[in-house]
Amino acid sequence: MAILKEPKTLIDSAYLIKGTIGNVGMPGAPIAHFSLVVNATTGTVSGMAEITQAIDRPSIEVKVTGNVRSTGYGKVTKIANLTGEYIVSVPTPAIGSYLQKFTAYMDINDEWKGTGGFTYGNQKITDVPVTSEQ
């Protein structure tokens, strides 16, 4: 029988998780790559998300915050939510930029694998695979 120890510091209760939300391998599909620090004690999350797509435009980088909650039953043992904003520059001849929202959700197991989705700009991607690099 293993005995679990209580975390002594915030560092002991935090972990890094990296992964993707989207149809990786599907040509032209938008993919959200995430790198998050999770505080296992409080359930808070912070980190970065990068949206890539196999078309001729740069990727979008977003600082994100959110939370992870345990469900307590079934295959989906955790529910994670992320939010953030990124800067969009308007094309010439216009001048300026504005903030655009990013949101993501993940219905996952303890290995951070499951289904999820994300929104950015006018794009809404739903019911796609979530995978982790763990």
Among the listed residues 86, 83, 79, the one whose alpha carbon sits nearest the alpha carbon of residue 116 = 79
Average pLDDT, the chain: 89
Measured from the Cβ of residue 65, the count of other Cβ atoms closer than 10 Å reads 13
CA distance 92 to 95: 7
The answer to whether the Cα torsion of 112, 11, 51, 99 is positive or negative is: positive
Q: What percent of the chain has pLDDT over 90?
A: 72
Question: Which sequence spans correspond to the domains of the chain?
Answer: 11-128
pLDDT in tens, 75-123: 999 999 999 999 998 888 888 999 999 999 999 999 999 999 999 989 9
Q: What is the pLDDT of residues 83-96, one digit of tens each?
A: 999 999 888 888 89
Tell me, letter by letter, the H, E, C secondary structure of the chain.
Answer: CCCCCCCCCCHHHEEEEEEEECCCCCCCCCEEEEEEEEECCCCEEEEEEEEECCCCCCCEEEEEEEEEEECCCCCCCEEEEEEEEEEEECCCCCCCEEEEEEEEEEEECCCCCEEEEEEECCEEEEEEEEEECC
Confidence of residue 9 (pLDDT cuts 50, 70, 90): low
pTM: predicted TM-score of the whole model, two decimal places = 0.86
- The answer to whether 96 touches 90, Cβ cutoff 8 Å, is yes
